[in-house]
């Protein structure tokens, strides 16, 4: 029960990191073991466990995972010990894979349990993500084992491209019919596009690819909001679609 209680407290703290657009400086996450608490090796152990999961080292995972593991990933997928091991077998990272620890902090939860918060950068050079890992460790003899794990990916805006890459901006201007009958207008603003909703509110859309645009801020602080234009066989733009949270809403162009 103590592990579950600490997990609840820690998950509340971890969820607040999703709303941050920038990774905290490594210095702000320096290891801070409690005085008198036996936390030796905990941070290194947690980082090694996440690395083993990323690269599919099931032998390491079998040795260092508690039978009652509860794992939640930033994708929303959840695993127990058996399903985590089945998933890890499928991991085949590319040779260019980079896993770089950026810092950690430790909280002693009592009864031989500690909570480790780690900041790790993963991915290929020039195309990586920052993850916040929350790991609950319990004592297993002279070592540790992972009882609870959670990952949160830190969202960042997509790199911008020249407006010319997105195609002629004039092609996209016009009116688009919303699902409830309202009309959305696309206009050119300062060498990019802007979306004007039925209330008159205006949002800048910045180019990130051919016919693809993105809102230059995290939507609700936690999501990437993108818009893509569709052309017919003749090349004429016929619709505008909004992409967020795995859903797509399409508005046809008003003739």
Amino acid 20: pLDDT: 37
Reported residue count of the chain is 255
pLDDT band at 125 (very low <50, low <70, confident <90, very high): low
- Looking at per-residue confidence, does 81 or 38 come out higher? 81
What CATH number is given for 163-252 in this structure? 2.40.128.50
Reduced to 3 states (helix: H, G, I; strand: E, B; else coil), residue 74 is coil
What is the average per-residue pLDDT within 13-20?
37
- Give kind and range of the element (H or E) at residue 4: helix 2-15
Query: Nearest 5 degrees, angle CA 122-CA 126-CA 129?
Result: 30
Q: Is the pLDDT of residue 98 over 60?
A: yes
Sign for the CA dihedral angle at 50, 56, 61, 67 comes to positive
Amino acid 23: pLDDT: 40
What is the average per-residue pLDDT within 240-246?
91
What is the average per-residue pLDDT within 189-213?
93
- CA atoms of 179 and 173, how far apart (whole Å): 19
pLDDT band at 187 (very low <50, low <70, confident <90, very high): very high
Q: Is the pLDDT of residue 24 over 80?
A: no
Amino acid 32: pLDDT: 39
Amino acid 126: pLDDT: 65
Mean per-residue pLDDT over the chain, rounded: 83
CATH of the domain spanning 2-154, picked from 2.70.150.10, 3.40.30.10, 3.10.450.50, 3.50.4.10 = 3.10.450.50
Bridge partners of 226, per DSSP, are 214, 243
Token pair for 194: 């802007």
Bridge partners of 3, per DSSP, are none
Q: Is the pLDDT of residue 142 over 70?
A: yes
Identical fold for domains 2-154 and 163-252, yes or no, is no
Q: Is the distance from CB of 59 to CB of 40 less than 8 angstroms?
A: no
- For the chain, what are the domain ranges? 2-154, 163-252
């Amino acid at each position: 029960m103590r592990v579950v209680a600490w997990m609840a407290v820690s998950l509340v703290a971890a969820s607040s990191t999703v709303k941050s657009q920038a990774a905290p400086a490594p210095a702000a996450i320096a290891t801070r073991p409690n005085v008198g608490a036996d936390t030796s090796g905990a941070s290194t152990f947690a980082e090694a466990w996440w690395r083993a999961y990323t690269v599919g080292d099931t032998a390491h995972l079998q040795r260092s995972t508690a039978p009652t593991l509860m794992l939640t990933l930033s994708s929303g997928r959840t695993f127990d010990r058996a399903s985590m091991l089945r998933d890890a077998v499928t991991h085949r990272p590319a040779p260019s894979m980079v896993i770089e620890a950026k810092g950690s902090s430790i909280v002693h939860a009592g009864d031989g349990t500690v909570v480790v918060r780690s900041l790790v950068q993963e991915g290929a050079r020039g195309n990586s993500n920052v993850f916040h890992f929350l790991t609950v460790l319990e004592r297993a003899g002279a070592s540790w084992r992972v009882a609870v794990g959670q990952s949160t990916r830190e969202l960042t805006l997509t790199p911008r491209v020249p407006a010319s890459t997105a195609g002629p901006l004039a092609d996209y201007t016009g009116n688009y019919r919303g699902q409830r009958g309202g009309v959305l207008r696309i206009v050119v603003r300062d060498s990019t596009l802007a979306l004007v909703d039925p209330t008159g509110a205006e949002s800048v859309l910045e180019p990130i690819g051919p016919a693809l645009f993105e809102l230059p801020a995290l939507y609700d602080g936690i999501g990437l909001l993108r818009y893509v234009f569709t052309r017919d066989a003749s090349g004429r733009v016929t619709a505008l679609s909004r992409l967020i949270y795995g859903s797509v809403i399409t508005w046809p162009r008003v003739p």
